[in-house]
Amino acid sequence: MQNYHITEDLEAGMGGVYQATVQSGKPSRLSWAWKIVGAIFLIALCSVASVGIAWYFMNHIQGERISALGRAAELQSSSEQGPVHPQHMLAQTANNTKAAIHLHVSGDDDSSLRWVNDVDQSFEIGGLKLENNEIVIPSDGLYFVYGQASYEVHCDSSEGGQELSYEISWFSNAAPSADRKYLLNGVKSVCQASVKKDEAVFEVIYLGAVFRLYKGDKLSAETNYRTYIDAQSSKTFFGVFQLAHAS
């Protein structure tokens, strides 16, 4: 009898354990509430992200439109004011440089190119000077050297073709030489066989490049046919502006 009662008590105890285990697996109301709150939070986060992305792209597109309108307004303003002359652009560039000079040719001398300063758009600033018809470099550095010669030639068929040349020469104590060295040189052929007698031919030679120059260097510009030169300030000129000091 005692054995029977012990077995019954064990079964009763096991049954209690089993029932407790089954009951613990049931979901509670609190866990469902947390799941709902998490879902709502995720939806809200996605909504905020969508609004942020939409706001970014709208502002980006609007900014591009404003920029495009600004560029269009600038172009319209430029077109209304007319084309900007290269010499005015050079003058504006000179205002931002350390040293610059821009020269015009004098119309009073028919034997050679005689350069003048302080006439029309010609100027000198920052130490670059015109001395003895030459540009004198004030300090070591990188310089942009340029020049243009415009010609009006009345051809004579009996003379045949001619070659016009415009050159910028350089003298330097850093590289002394008995002869001046050419920095830049341009040549144009005119009055070919197809040109009629006394027909006017117009030609332009433009030169320009960057050079490392030294204090005391001298630059000059000359042509082989001075009588053909168009002396208008916008057509024949010579100049230099500094880009950087020597490092």
**Domain parsing of the chain, residue ranges:** 2-79, 86-245
Sign of CA dihedral 219, 182, 207, 200: positive
Q: Which amino acid is at 110?
A: D
Q: How confident is the model at residue 4 (pLDDT cuts 50, 70, 90)?
A: very low
Question: 86-245, what's its fold?
Answer: Jelly Rolls (2.60.120)
Query: For residue 208, what pLDDT band results from cuts at 50, 70 and 90?
Result: very high
% of the chain with per-residue pLDDT over 70: 61
Band (pLDDT 50/70/90 cuts) for residue 7 is very low
Query: Is the dihedral angle over the CA atoms 74, 79, 82, 84 positive or is it negative?
Result: positive
What global pTM score does this model have? 0.60
Which residue, among 130, 115, 142, has the nearest Cα to 209 in the 3D structure? 142
Least confident of 147-151, 164-168, 232-236: 232-236
Q: Tens of pLDDT along 104-153?
A: 999 877 788 999 998 888 999 999 999 999 999 999 999 999 999 999 98
What is the pLDDT confidence band of residue 246, given thresholds at 50, 70 and 90?
confident
Q: What is the pLDDT of residues 28-37, one digit of tens each?
A: 666 667 777 6
Token couple for 57: 């792209």
Which tokens in the block code for residue 66?
A: 């404003």
Using the predicted structure, report yes or no on whether residue 54 has a pLDDT greater than 80: no
**Would you place residue 18 in the very low, low, confident or very high pLDDT band (cuts 50, 70, 90)?**
very low
Q: When comparing pLDDT for 43 and 73, which is higher?
A: 43
Q: Which residue has the higher pLDDT, 14 or 150?
A: 150
C-alpha 106/C-alpha 117 separation (Å) is 10
Q: Name 232's Cβ contacts closer than 8 Å, sequence gap at least 6.
A: 150
Place of tokens 């509670």: 28
